Amino acid sequence: MNFPSKLIEDAVSEISRLPGIGKKTALRLTLHLLKQKEPVTIALTDALINLRKNIQYCVICHNISDKSVCSICEGHKRDRSVICVVEDLPDVLAIENTNQYSGLYHVLGGVISPIQGIGPDELKIETLFKRIDNPSNDVQVKEIILALPATMEGDTTSFFITRKLKDKGLNISSIARGIPVGSELEYTDEITLGRSILTRIKYSAE
């Protein structure tokens, strides 16, 4: 595309660097900003610059935070004996939204992926082991819940962590994989269905 203005061209080229946004969408967003009043663009850019310059990561769980220790790690009502290991911030948000979990988190910042050149050293795995050995507030960690993606990379990461922790006497579990609530059996892929039979849950008559 030949743009009539260098300013438009620069804006479109920068916006289209964002994942999932092509040149046409970038142009649409650019023209939208031009049609809005100037404070709209300034509010957007200020928010982005503020974020990039002032963001911190919790020194304990590596979750994004405004302070050096995040509100979850600081929380008085959280169960400090359980740590849920997740890939990234959206997973923390998703689990928090369920209101089913009151323990702590550990954000790896990714999963092991040899193809993308991501090994254990590129992730925040070592600090997880340190947390278990030297627990904060002197509350012993008893359980690790692995809530990593149901992919080859996620499974590899879970396997790696499980093997490293095998002699620590911890309860290690993975979140259940199976048929999503509300789904029909016939439309479920065979791997999920097969796993859900293998890992079936016993009903008690009581």
Residues found near its own copies in the complex (CB under 8 A): 1-8, 10-11, 13-15, 17-21, 24-25, 27-34, 38, 40-45, 47-55, 63-66, 70-72, 88-90, 92-93, 96-97
Please state, in angstroms and as integers, the Cα–Cα distance from residue 173 to each residue in 60, 142, 145, following that order.
21, 11, 5
CB of 200 to its own copies, least distance (A): 32
Least Å distance between CB 154 and its own copies? Answer: 17
Name the minimum Å distance from CB 123 to its own copies: 13
Name the nearest CA neighbour of 113 among 150, 156, 160, 159. 156
Question: CA-to-CA distance for 193 and 53, rounded, in angstroms?
Answer: 46
Beta carbon of residue 22, minimum distance to its own copies (angstroms, whole number): 12
27's CB contacts (< 8 A; 6+ apart) are 1, 8, 12
Contact 128, 161 (CB under 8 A): yes
For residues 35 and 202, which CB has a smaller minimum distance to its own copies in the complex? Answer: 35
Question: Which residue, 7 or 150, has its beta carbon nearer to its own copies?
Answer: 7
